[in-house]
A and B are shown apart, each in its own frame.
Chain A
Amino acid sequence: AQSVAQPEDQVKVAEGNPLTVKCTYSVSGNPYLFWYVQYPNRGLQFLLKYITGDNLVKGSYGFEAEFNKSQTSFHLKKPSALVSDSALYFCAVRDGGDYKLSFGAGTTVTVRA
Protein backbone atom coordinates (compact mmCIF):
# COMPACT_ATOMS: atom_id res chain seq x y z
CA ALA A 1 0.00 0.00 0.00
CA GLN A 2 1.13 3.54 -0.66
CA SER A 3 0.11 6.72 1.12
CA VAL A 4 0.99 10.37 1.56
CA ALA A 5 0.61 12.63 4.57
CA GLN A 6 0.61 16.41 4.51
CA PRO A 7 0.62 17.28 8.21
CA GLU A 8 -0.34 20.94 7.80
CA ASP A 9 -3.75 21.96 6.49
CA GLN A 10 -2.60 25.56 6.16
CA VAL A 11 0.68 27.42 5.85
CA LYS A 12 0.84 31.20 6.09
CA VAL A 13 3.93 33.27 5.31
CA ALA A 14 4.77 36.86 4.48
CA GLU A 15 5.83 37.75 0.95
CA GLY A 16 9.59 37.48 0.57
CA ASN A 17 9.94 34.91 3.35
CA PRO A 18 10.87 31.26 2.80
CA LEU A 19 8.03 28.84 2.19
CA THR A 20 8.03 25.17 3.20
CA VAL A 21 5.21 22.68 2.63
CA LYS A 22 5.72 19.33 4.32
CA CYS A 23 5.09 15.85 2.91
CA THR A 24 5.84 12.36 4.16
CA TYR A 25 5.15 9.16 2.28
CA SER A 26 4.88 5.42 2.68
CA VAL A 27 5.58 2.86 -0.05
CA SER A 28 6.80 -0.72 -0.14
CA GLY A 29 9.13 -0.21 -3.10
CA ASN A 30 10.95 2.74 -4.63
CA PRO A 31 9.02 6.00 -4.35
CA TYR A 32 8.24 8.23 -7.31
CA LEU A 33 7.28 11.59 -5.76
CA PHE A 34 5.44 14.55 -7.26
CA TRP A 35 4.22 18.01 -6.26
CA TYR A 36 1.20 19.67 -7.85
CA VAL A 37 -0.49 23.03 -7.29
CA GLN A 38 -4.19 23.78 -7.71
CA TYR A 39 -5.68 27.25 -8.13
CA PRO A 40 -9.40 27.86 -7.47
CA ASN A 41 -11.68 26.20 -10.01
CA ARG A 42 -8.71 24.85 -11.92
CA GLY A 43 -7.09 21.48 -12.48
CA LEU A 44 -3.77 20.50 -10.99
CA GLN A 45 -0.52 21.89 -12.36
CA PHE A 46 2.70 19.85 -12.20
CA LEU A 47 5.55 21.51 -10.26
CA LEU A 48 8.31 18.92 -9.93
CA LYS A 49 9.14 15.26 -9.39
CA TYR A 50 11.73 12.98 -7.84
CA ILE A 51 12.40 9.66 -9.51
CA THR A 52 16.06 8.97 -8.81
CA GLY A 53 19.39 10.77 -8.54
CA ASP A 54 20.08 14.08 -6.80
CA ASN A 55 18.00 14.47 -3.64
CA LEU A 56 17.38 18.17 -4.38
CA VAL A 57 14.96 18.63 -7.24
CA LYS A 58 14.27 21.96 -8.90
CA GLY A 59 10.96 22.68 -10.57
CA SER A 60 8.71 25.36 -11.98
CA TYR A 61 8.21 28.90 -10.62
CA GLY A 62 11.28 28.75 -8.36
CA PHE A 63 10.10 25.78 -6.32
CA GLU A 64 12.37 22.98 -5.20
CA ALA A 65 11.96 19.87 -3.09
CA GLU A 66 14.30 17.71 -1.06
CA PHE A 67 13.98 13.94 -0.99
CA ASN A 68 14.99 12.38 2.33
CA LYS A 69 14.88 8.60 2.25
CA SER A 70 15.62 8.04 5.93
CA GLN A 71 12.81 10.36 7.00
CA THR A 72 10.54 9.32 4.09
CA SER A 73 9.92 12.99 3.37
CA PHE A 74 9.69 15.17 0.29
CA HIS A 75 9.20 18.75 1.48
CA LEU A 76 8.46 21.53 -1.02
CA LYS A 77 10.39 24.76 -0.63
CA LYS A 78 10.66 28.22 -2.10
CA PRO A 79 13.33 30.63 -0.86
CA SER A 80 11.21 33.78 -1.34
CA ALA A 81 7.43 33.43 -1.53
CA LEU A 82 5.19 35.59 -3.71
CA VAL A 83 1.54 36.55 -3.15
CA SER A 84 0.80 34.69 -6.39
CA ASP A 85 2.03 31.45 -4.75
CA SER A 86 -1.16 31.39 -2.67
CA ALA A 87 -2.89 28.16 -3.69
CA LEU A 88 -3.58 24.55 -2.71
CA TYR A 89 -0.55 22.25 -2.88
CA PHE A 90 -0.65 18.48 -3.22
CA CYS A 91 2.07 15.92 -2.70
CA ALA A 92 1.66 12.60 -4.53
CA VAL A 93 3.48 9.27 -4.60
CA ARG A 94 3.71 6.21 -6.77
CA ASP A 95 5.25 2.93 -5.69
CA GLY A 96 7.75 2.44 -8.54
CA GLY A 97 6.25 0.05 -11.05
CA ASP A 98 2.70 0.68 -9.87
CA TYR A 99 0.56 3.01 -11.96
CA LYS A 100 -1.69 4.24 -9.16
CA LEU A 101 -0.89 7.81 -8.03
CA SER A 102 -1.84 8.57 -4.43
CA PHE A 103 -2.34 12.16 -3.25
CA GLY A 104 -2.17 13.79 0.13
CA ALA A 105 -5.08 15.84 1.46
CA GLY A 106 -3.46 19.08 0.39
CA THR A 107 -2.00 22.16 2.10
CA THR A 108 -3.45 25.62 1.58
CA VAL A 109 -0.70 28.21 1.26
CA THR A 110 -1.45 31.86 1.94
CA VAL A 111 1.22 34.44 1.21
CA ARG A 112 0.37 37.86 2.64
CA ALA A 113 1.69 41.06 1.13
Chain B
Amino acid sequence: DAGVTQSPTHLIKTRGQQVTLRCSPISGHKSVSWYQQVLGQGPQFIFQYYEKEERGRGNFPDRFSARQFPNYSSELNVNALLLGDSALYLCASSLEGGSSSYEQYFGPGTRLTVT
Protein backbone atom coordinates (compact mmCIF):
# COMPACT_ATOMS: atom_id res chain seq x y z
CA ASP B 1 0.00 0.00 0.00
CA ALA B 2 1.11 3.54 -0.69
CA GLY B 3 2.10 5.61 2.30
CA VAL B 4 1.26 9.23 3.00
CA THR B 5 2.20 11.41 0.03
CA GLN B 6 2.92 15.12 0.04
CA SER B 7 3.47 17.66 -2.69
CA PRO B 8 5.52 19.52 -3.59
CA THR B 9 8.77 18.14 -2.19
CA HIS B 10 10.49 21.51 -2.10
CA LEU B 11 9.21 25.05 -2.43
CA ILE B 12 10.85 28.46 -2.43
CA LYS B 13 8.67 31.51 -1.77
CA THR B 14 9.21 35.20 -1.10
CA ARG B 15 8.10 37.00 2.06
CA GLY B 16 4.48 38.08 1.86
CA GLN B 17 3.47 35.41 -0.62
CA GLN B 18 0.97 32.62 -0.03
CA VAL B 19 1.62 28.88 -0.26
CA THR B 20 -0.52 25.73 -0.48
CA LEU B 21 0.81 22.34 0.54
CA ARG B 22 -0.98 19.10 -0.28
CA CYS B 23 -1.29 15.73 1.44
CA SER B 24 -2.88 12.40 0.56
CA PRO B 25 -3.41 10.01 3.47
CA ILE B 26 -3.00 6.26 3.54
CA SER B 27 -6.02 4.54 2.03
CA GLY B 28 -8.65 3.98 4.73
CA HIS B 29 -7.30 6.69 7.03
CA LYS B 30 -9.81 9.43 7.73
CA SER B 31 -7.71 11.66 9.97
CA VAL B 32 -4.98 14.02 8.77
CA SER B 33 -2.66 16.12 10.92
CA TRP B 34 -0.17 18.82 9.97
CA TYR B 35 3.11 19.62 11.72
CA GLN B 36 5.86 22.19 11.33
CA GLN B 37 9.42 21.03 11.96
CA VAL B 38 12.03 23.76 12.20
CA LEU B 39 15.63 22.64 11.82
CA GLY B 40 16.96 21.20 15.07
CA GLN B 41 13.55 20.92 16.74
CA GLY B 42 10.78 18.39 17.09
CA PRO B 43 7.60 18.67 15.02
CA GLN B 44 5.05 21.21 16.27
CA PHE B 45 1.35 20.42 15.92
CA ILE B 46 -0.57 22.76 13.62
CA PHE B 47 -3.94 21.12 12.84
CA GLN B 48 -5.83 17.87 12.92
CA TYR B 49 -8.81 17.11 10.67
CA TYR B 50 -11.19 14.20 10.87
CA GLU B 51 -14.09 13.65 8.49
CA LYS B 52 -13.52 17.15 7.07
CA GLU B 53 -13.90 18.81 10.48
CA GLU B 54 -11.11 20.56 12.38
CA ARG B 55 -10.61 18.65 15.61
CA GLY B 56 -7.58 20.40 17.02
CA ARG B 57 -5.40 23.42 16.44
CA GLY B 58 -1.95 24.21 17.75
CA ASN B 59 -0.51 27.57 18.74
CA PHE B 60 -0.15 29.02 15.24
CA PRO B 61 -1.42 32.36 13.90
CA ASP B 62 -4.50 32.74 11.73
CA ARG B 63 -2.22 32.98 8.69
CA PHE B 64 -2.22 29.19 8.83
CA SER B 65 -5.37 27.43 7.63
CA ALA B 66 -6.26 23.98 6.37
CA ARG B 67 -9.07 21.93 4.99
CA GLN B 68 -9.89 18.30 4.31
CA PHE B 69 -11.69 17.09 1.22
CA PRO B 70 -14.31 14.31 0.82
CA ASN B 71 -11.58 11.90 -0.31
CA TYR B 72 -9.74 12.70 2.99
CA SER B 73 -6.85 14.49 1.29
CA SER B 74 -5.87 17.79 2.82
CA GLU B 75 -4.34 21.17 2.05
CA LEU B 76 -2.40 23.47 4.32
CA ASN B 77 -2.40 27.16 3.40
CA VAL B 78 -0.06 29.78 4.78
CA ASN B 79 -0.66 33.45 3.96
CA ALA B 80 1.65 36.43 4.25
CA LEU B 81 4.76 34.26 4.54
CA LEU B 82 7.48 35.26 6.99
CA LEU B 83 11.11 34.18 7.04
CA GLY B 84 10.31 32.21 10.20
CA ASP B 85 7.87 30.03 8.29
CA SER B 86 10.82 28.29 6.63
CA ALA B 87 10.58 24.69 7.81
CA LEU B 88 9.74 21.11 6.92
CA TYR B 89 5.97 20.69 6.87
CA LEU B 90 4.86 17.18 7.72
CA CYS B 91 1.53 15.57 7.11
CA ALA B 92 0.41 12.49 9.05
CA SER B 93 -2.61 10.24 8.73
CA SER B 94 -4.19 7.79 11.14
CA LEU B 95 -7.16 5.49 11.59
CA GLU B 96 -8.44 7.30 14.65
CA GLY B 97 -12.03 8.13 15.00
CA GLY B 98 -13.35 8.02 18.50
CA SER B 99 -9.99 7.23 20.04
CA SER B 100 -6.75 9.18 20.09
CA SER B 101 -4.71 6.03 20.77
CA TYR B 102 -3.85 5.32 17.16
CA GLU B 103 -0.38 6.01 15.87
CA GLN B 104 0.15 8.48 13.07
CA TYR B 105 1.97 7.71 9.84
CA PHE B 106 4.02 10.53 8.38
CA GLY B 107 4.71 11.62 4.85
CA PRO B 108 8.17 12.69 3.64
CA GLY B 109 7.36 16.36 4.14
CA THR B 110 7.49 19.54 2.09
CA ARG B 111 10.58 21.70 2.57
CA LEU B 112 9.48 25.36 2.45
CA THR B 113 12.10 28.07 2.15
CA VAL B 114 11.01 31.70 2.49
CA THR B 115 13.44 34.31 1.18
Residues on A close to B: CB < 8 A?
A: 4, 32, 34, 36, 41-46, 49, 51, 90, 92, 94, 96-106
Question: Per a CB cutoff under 8 Å, which of A4, A32, A41, A104 touches B100?
Answer: A32
Pick the residue among B4, B40, B104 that contacts A101 (CB under 8 A): B104
Of the candidates B45, B90, B100, B103, the one whose C-beta lies within 8 Å of that of A96 is B100
Given A32-B101, A51-B101, list of 7 further CB < 8 A pairs? A43-B106, A49-B101, A96-B101, A99-B56, A100-B48, A101-B33, A103-B35
Known: A98-B56, A100-B48. A106 touches B41 (CB 8 A): yes
Q: B residues near A, CB below 8 A? A: 4, 33, 35, 40-45, 48, 50, 55-56, 58, 90, 92, 96, 100-101, 103-109
Complex CA distance for A43 and B34, rounded to whole angstroms: 12
